[in-house]
Amino acid sequence: MTVVGAALVPGMPHLLAAEPAPSWKLLADAARQAGQDLRAAGPDAFVVLSTQWFTVLGHQFQVDPNPRGGHVDENWYAYDYGTLDYDLRVDVELAEAWACQAEDMGFQARRTRYDGFPVDTGTVVAGKLVDPDRSRPIALVSCNLYAAAGDLGRIAEAAALAAGKLGRRVAFVAVSGLSSGLIQRWIEPAEDRFEDAGHDAWNRRVLDLLAAGRTDEVLALREEYAREAQADSQLRALAFLAGSGACDRPARVLEYGPVWGTGAAVVTWLDG
């Protein structure tokens, strides 16, 4: 089996705070657990999409074998969790094969390999939680906001095909929030909560459907969810994960809670 499982994890840096809100800590612990569970399924590599690396032209594939450096988040720079170091291990062979497969399927695949390229906060945060020891290399693609959401599903399909050709076993990770309405003021961690009950209700509805294995229903609700609860990138992350083929079963919702008022959840799709 090429695809061993999938996970949805939040990319907000608050999960790495030295003094986290209760929900941030629970979410971080859950993301660590999700990583442990995915690794236990035996992948050779992680295939990663982060909605915080959003692009608008073509699909960008990271082909730098070792992006590394410091990243200061342009929103959260004043907090301890706003300054991040990263040192990524990219499976260039898989990324290149993935890009070629995407091209064969008619997509524009752009290779990204530039000194000083700013890796996004979500990719860094998820990496530190899901695979803190960098035990597996990763293959990264951007989230094209101007492409149809279904295209991201096909891009994931391309990753699975490419991995299959290389004999790689892979786990898919999408780094994304749920509702994205932030509390519009500076708060203390203890003050974090959902200020919009409607957003909270929508998030719960979506998670319940995923837990019931009704992935297609959630995909059909994406646009409405985006309108009603400002879903992060119109929940393209789920379209991506579904394209891997891993979401054809009930999901396990490990945690759900607010991060600065946004909805965040850790969800896995694994056998057993």
Among 37, 41, 44, 58, binds another protein (CB under 8 A): 58
Enumerate the β-bridge partners of residue 267. 8, 253
Read off the amino acid at residue 264.
A
- Distance of closest approach, residue 146 Cβ to another protein, in angstroms: 4
Q: Residue 259: helix, strand or coil by DSSP?
A: strand
220 binds another protein (CB under 8 A): no
Task: Identify which range of 22-30, 106-114, 164-172, 210-218 contacts another protein by CB under 8 A.
Answer: 106-114
Query: Should residue 135 be labelled a site residue for another protein when binding is judged by CB under 8 A?
Result: no
114 makes contact with another protein (CB under 8 A)? yes
117 contributes a contact to another protein by CB under 8 A: yes
Among 66, 116, 188, 272, binds another protein (CB under 8 A): 116
Q: What is the DSSP letter of 23?
A: H
Residue 138 CA, chain-centre distance (Å), reads: 12
Q: Does 174 contact another protein by CB under 8 A?
A: no
User: Would strands 262-269 and 252-259 be described as parallel, antiparallel, or unpaired?
Assistant: antiparallel
53 in contact with another protein (CB under 8 A)? yes
Q: Which of 2, 23, 33, 51 binds another protein (CB under 8 A)?
A: 51
Residue with tokens 């699909």: 59
Collapsed DSSP state (helix, strand, coil) of residue 156 = helix
Give 72 or 211: the residue with its C-beta nearer to another protein. 72
Residue 18 interacting with another protein (CB under 8 A)? no
Considering only 25, 89, 110, 193, the residue that binds another protein (CB under 8 A) is 110
Instruction: Compute the least distance from the CB of residue 254 to another protein, in Å.
Output: 22
Write out the two tokens for 64: 């730098």
For the chain, the maximum distance between any two Cα atoms, rounded to a whole number of angstroms, is 50
- The dihedral through the CA atoms of 219, 109, 176, 133 has a sign that is positive
Quick check: helix, strand or coil at residue 92?
helix
List residues bridging with 175 in a β-sheet: 9, 50
**CB nearer to another protein: pick between 54 and 86:** 54
Eight-state DSSP code of residue 209: H
Binding site for another protein (CB under 8 A): 51, 53-58, 70, 72-75, 77-78, 82-83, 108, 110, 112, 114-118, 120, 142, 144-149, 151, 177, 180-186, 226, 230-234, 260
